[in-house]
Chains A and B, each alone.
Chain A
């Protein structure tokens, strides 16, 4: 991983969730932006191109998480999105796949938060050429097949 600054955006209409996440993430990111709805988040991410990773809730007022990622992709913002999931969000998760979701975090327990965010930051910092993508696909495939074989 490079020594560039790690910048994330946390989007949730529940203020206490945002505060919890800020506390959990502060030790290993440099800057944290926050927003409480998708529209404000979209404006932030357009203004601050240094944002590397976006953590977003799905159900929010004014603009929900799905509309947020859809609009972001239309503006050619290809940052990794990590969505918070909870009960009843299966259809939203499926919709999120259409626009390129990086991962999902179970709200409010946020298991694997650090691992997933660091992975996303790493992904955001990489320059992804098509040959690198192919290489990653082969590596992931070999790893998966190996684990099947040992099973």
Chain B
């Protein structure tokens, strides 16, 4: 158990912040609790303050309150962009980020945040703030937060499906590059729904590529979905289209889509960069920061940066002792791998500037047999990197056109793609859902059921014993992003499943006869108002994520 709690709240709701502090003061009365608020409105230094606070405080969880700013897409874009960059540093990767709204309409106005991978759970503020406090505590610490006991419809076996909000990161003339927390399989015919344009009705795609890393958003996988266009003699059905229709749409929207400029990759464990990105935002180049490269060097394969700034960690530390999963140390051996990879791309000769390198440029060039390495013994500094970037932009910027891949802006809802998976639902309360799946779902993935409405769920280590069934894994998810009115519907739905035992996971008030409606209205919402008398369950700690794939 941690002996202090650190919670960062970014928002203007002083009353909510007061309630948040009270919750932790009550719950963790024998511990040191640090809660900090960063105000959003009229805060010109918001981004810098956010970054500096993150670095200094190292929060265990971060709560972003969009209530006052849900119409300010520029500010939201800046906030999310910075948080995405912060989360690429290995120190901040495990920090869950929650979002708050005062109404469902606010959330629906900026739905794109649910397809960034970075928001683990969204809450509509109101009477159920305690549920949010308990859930966020559990997600941050994997400690039993003494949940109330809810009426439960269990022993169900209802075949249904969910969709995982994911994102399109690139569009070419015949494929979509996507990032998602749901692992696709190569050659799988995957089903997904898109939001591109009305004529794009294709729902099934062929997975031609998959890697366990993400580049632009906070997801676990990136993949290529090939679009199965109808051939010239094929009949056009309601879920098919021809390639020239798609290409015409791309041409028509070319101005709105971002084409990829020259990229600069900065690899450094230093936290200095994370304090102020605004000085880089006005540059035309696409710069990408990461603390440690993924073990497959996907970022280099995909971005092919023209300039790589690589800051060595302590060169005397052995690579074998490096312990960040799926990442490479910033070491001489990793640089060998980078140069080896570069050589596999004909004509691709990026400049590599190395920092914390005690050897000379000439020595480095000879060892790697690669002439475009510059070395500096100094520690990497923002001022020097800025000079390099400005020089790069002024003199050597090139537009990359050959592969004709386009990106959507972060705030563009058309980038949302939802990957479908089948499942069997085994129980439902107004607070959680359990379900069986053939495949692995990482903890803290957000998925969405469509009954009794758009039901957002975050998969968590189960708070009660649930058993896998054969090859099917059993999962629990916390339900969230639910308004007060929707909560009433949830309660009706739970009672409907409990009393009616339908064969389908489908809620339609019209199907419920008068007699059952009376039963549903009479049934208590909560079996007991007493918190569960379960003490802290020793097996459910943050370590639960160590034995199961997790986003955090």
Q: Which A positions have Cβ atoms within 8 angstroms of B? A: 80, 85, 90, 93-94, 96-104, 116, 119, 123, 130, 133-134, 136-138, 140-142, 144-145, 148-149
Question: Which of B50-58, B73-81, B390-398, B487-495 lies on the face that meets chain A?
Answer: B390-398
Q: In the complex, A140 Cα to B384 Cα: how many Å?
A: 13
Q: In the complex, what residue of chain A is closest to B378 when comparing beta carbons?
A: A133
Q: Check B377 against A100 for contact (C-beta < 8 Å).
A: yes
Q: Check A140 against B361 for contact (C-beta < 8 Å).
A: yes
Q: Check B363 against A97 for contact (C-beta < 8 Å).
A: yes
Q: Check A148 against B349 for contact (C-beta < 8 Å).
A: yes
Q: In the complex, A140 Cα to B367 Cα: how many Å?
A: 18
Of the A-B pairs whose beta carbons lie under 8 Å apart in the complex, a sample of 13, sorted by A's number, is: A94-B367, A96-B359, A97-B359, A98-B332, A102-B359, A116-B362, A123-B360, A133-B376, A134-B387, A138-B387, A141-B391, A144-B374, A145-B396
B346 → chain A, closest Cβ, in Å?
Answer: 14
The A interface, classified by DSSP as helix, strand, loop or mixed, is: helix
Q: Check B363 against A102 for contact (C-beta < 8 Å).
A: yes
B202 → chain A, closest Cβ, in Å?
Answer: 42
A90 CB contacts on chain B under 8 angstroms: 367
Q: In the complex, A136 Cα to B376 Cα: how many Å?
A: 9
Q: In the complex, what residue of chain A is closest to B398 when comparing beta carbons?
A: A149
| Residue in B315, B332, B372, B384 whose CB lies within 8 Å of A137 | B384
Which residues from 348 to 373 on chain B have a C-beta closer than 8 Å to any C-beta of chain A?
349, 351, 353, 357-364, 366-367, 372
Given A94-B332, A141-B388, A149-B396, A99–B374 Cβ distance below 8 Å? Answer: no
A76 → chain B, closest Cβ, in Å?
Answer: 13
Q: Check B372 against A97 for contact (C-beta < 8 Å).
A: no
B381 at the A interface (CB under 8 A): yes
| Residue in A119, A130, A142, A145 whose CB lies within 8 Å of B378 | A130
Q: Which B positions have Cβ atoms within 8 angstroms of A? A: 315-316, 332, 336, 349, 351, 353, 357-364, 366-367, 372, 374, 376-378, 381, 383-384, 387-388, 391-392, 395-396
Q: In the complex, what residue of chain B is closest to A112 when comparing beta carbons?
A: B362
Q: Check B316 against A97 for contact (C-beta < 8 Å).
A: no
Given A97-B363, A97-B364, A134–B384 Cβ distance below 8 Å? Answer: yes
Q: In the complex, what residue of chain A is closest to B315 when comparing beta carbons?
A: A98
B388 CB contacts on chain A under 8 angstroms: 138, 141
B306 → chain A, closest Cβ, in Å?
Answer: 9
Q: In the complex, what residue of chain A is closest to B331 when comparing beta carbons?
A: A98
Given A137-B374, A145-B396, A98–B316 Cβ distance below 8 Å? Answer: yes
Apart from A80-B360, A103-B362: 4 A-B pairs, beta carbons within 8 A: A93-B366, A101-B360, A103-B363, A141-B391
Identify the 7 closest CB pairs spanning chains A and B, nearest first: A100-B358, A101-B363, A137-B376, A97-B359, A98-B315, A101-B359, A93-B367
| Residue in A85, A103, A130, A144 whose CB lies within 8 Å of B360 | A103
Q: Check B359 against A100 for contact (C-beta < 8 Å).
A: yes
Q: In the complex, A148 Cα to B373 Cα: how many Å?
A: 12
Q: Check A145 against B392 for contact (C-beta < 8 Å).
A: yes
Q: In the complex, what residue of chain B is closest to A140 when comparing beta carbons?
A: B374
Q: In the complex, A79 Cα to B332 Cα: how many Å?
A: 22
Q: Check A145 against B359 for contact (C-beta < 8 Å).
A: no
A142 CB contacts on chain B under 8 angstroms: 391, 395
Given A133-B376, A134-B378, A137-B374, A96–B363 Cβ distance below 8 Å? Answer: yes
Given A102-B363, A103-B366, A149-B396, A141–B374 Cβ distance below 8 Å? Answer: yes
